[in-house]
Homo-oligomer: A and B are copies of this chain.
Amino acid sequence: MAEIPYKIFLEESEMPKAWHNVRAVMKELPDPFISPATGKACTADDLRPVFCDDLIAQELNTTDEYIEIPEEIRSFYKMYRPSPLVRAYNLEKALDTPAKIYYKFEGNNTSGSHKLNSAAAQVYYAKKQGLTSLTTETGAGQWGTALSMACAFYGMDLTVYMVKVSAEQKPHRRAVIETYGGKVIPSPSDTTEVGRRILAENPGTGGSLGCAISEAMETALKTEGCRYVLGSVLNHVLVHQTIIGQETYAACKKYGIEPDMIIGCAGGGSNLGGLISPFMADYIQGKNNIDFVAVEPASCPSLTRGRYAFDFGDTGKMTPLMRMYTLGSGFMPSPNHAGGLRYHGMSPILSKLYHDGYMRAVSCEQTKVFEAAVKFARVEGTLPAPESSHAIKAAMDEAIRCRETGEAKTILFGLTGTGYFDMTAYQAYLNGTMTDYIPTDEDLERGFATLPKINF
């Protein structure tokens, strides 16, 4: 077996030609989406006004373990992939741990994150279908940037509803989106009915991902040749993100790396789902014994404190109902929350795997996350995104535990992106003005009260 370099790059010829679809090997499938109008499982026809056809097919595909990546998308991927699988030699040394730490780094592209993996695919399929414009929402801005890059490349118009607090905290992120030609509207806005309603109810709101989703969907439905695209949560997004896992799986095979633990941050869940997908398929089939760990913010704890229930994907209650771990679509993270991963729900696929005991979840307070981020930056060089730093925090905790027990575990985590546009939050941490927030049970109850009153 070859010696392990600091950074493993697959050869272009070794790059995956298919995405992975873990649903094909799951013993029980996630519940289907339910139409709130009919109370029945959504069909492709129900989804067609909102999503484009190839994505609907992927969304509903529970049988094919591998889904071919079209040549045109593989060409796009070659612009910024393969991403490196990095051996964190310096972090291991700094922690004085016998553990071997690896991270799959998705930040080496202008969007600064893994989001481009699905943006490339979604815009390609929309273009193929003859659509002319897209709408989306963005929180931290990584998804909006990624989509704007893909739209520039394929020649599509784009409107991005950007969570207002993010647009204000990150004007330069907005400028990047605009440089690639995307139009940015801070959300809630007066350009949609749902936006106007939310503004009337709560004029001072900093917005939420759920609300931005509602605005983007409304605009897509009202515009000819336009569709809505989403950067996480949905099954097809998770499938696209399996390019991360497929590359990681190939690199591990090539170098004989056998992870004992795979860790990822989880907001909507697509990056973690994408990273673990092929490894999880092996686990389900008894071929490995990996400990899969989702890490989420203590301030937005959908897996660790949420309910496994049917819920809307958006605040405006326009989406089908999805069974997932959720805090309720009306849950609003505290305004002091700076670490991303603000979504109220969780990927139905990950939710099902978690519910059935195939993986576990932990939550972290943001000051601890930033402490880990700064430590990591100083020894490994790369400045991580706050989102990604949730995974760093959990990996470091485990590596420190290994130091105490003497275990030489192999820990692999997803480093989903860079923190260049999160410097306001880093400054707050460095200045000591960052605070933590853990929702009280009453806070959570207020969110749960927004769950739909439907029993199946």
The residues of A with any CB-CB pair to B shorter than 8 Å are 5-7, 9, 11-12, 78-80, 90, 108-110, 112, 149, 152-153, 171-172, 175-176, 178-181, 374, 377-383, 418, 420-421, 423-424, 426-427, 430
Contact = CB atoms under 8 A, between A and B. Distances in A.
B110 A108 contact: no
B421 A377 contact: no
Contact of A179 (B9, B108, B176, B377): B377
A380 B12 CA distance: 17
B175 A423 contact: yes
Contacts of A152: 377-379
B377 A79 contact: no
Nearest to A145: B383
Contact of A427 (B79, B175, B383, B418): B175
A372 to B, nearest CB: 13
Nearest to A174: B423
B78 A378 contact: no
B176 A378 contact: no
Ranked 5 nearest A-B pairs via Cβ? A5-B12, A175-B423, A172-B423, A152-B378, A6-B78
Contacts of A374: 179
11 contacts: A5-B11, A5-B12, A80-B381, A90-B153, A109-B382, A110-B377, A175-B427, A175-B430, A178-B430, A179-B430, A180-B377
Contacts of A153: 90, 378-379, 381
One complex includes copies of this chain to the number of 2
Contacts of A78: 5-7
Contacts of A12: 5-7
Central interface residue in A112, A171, A176, by most chain B CB within 10 Å: A176
Contacts of A382: 80, 109-110
A172 B176 CA distance: 15
Given A11-B5, A178-B430, A381 B109 contact: yes
Contacts of A9: 9
B90 A420 contact: no
Nearest to A426: B179
Contacts of A179: 374, 377, 383, 423, 426, 430
Given A153-B379, A171-B423, A175-B426, 8 more contacts: A5-B11, A9-B9, A80-B382, A149-B381, A152-B377, A176-B426, A179-B377, A420-B420
Contacts of A418: 110
A302 B374 CA distance: 40
Contacts of A5: 11-12, 78
A300 B110 CA distance: 28
A153 B382 CA distance: 11
Given A110-B377, A180-B378, A427-B178, A420 B172 contact: yes
A377 B178 CA distance: 12
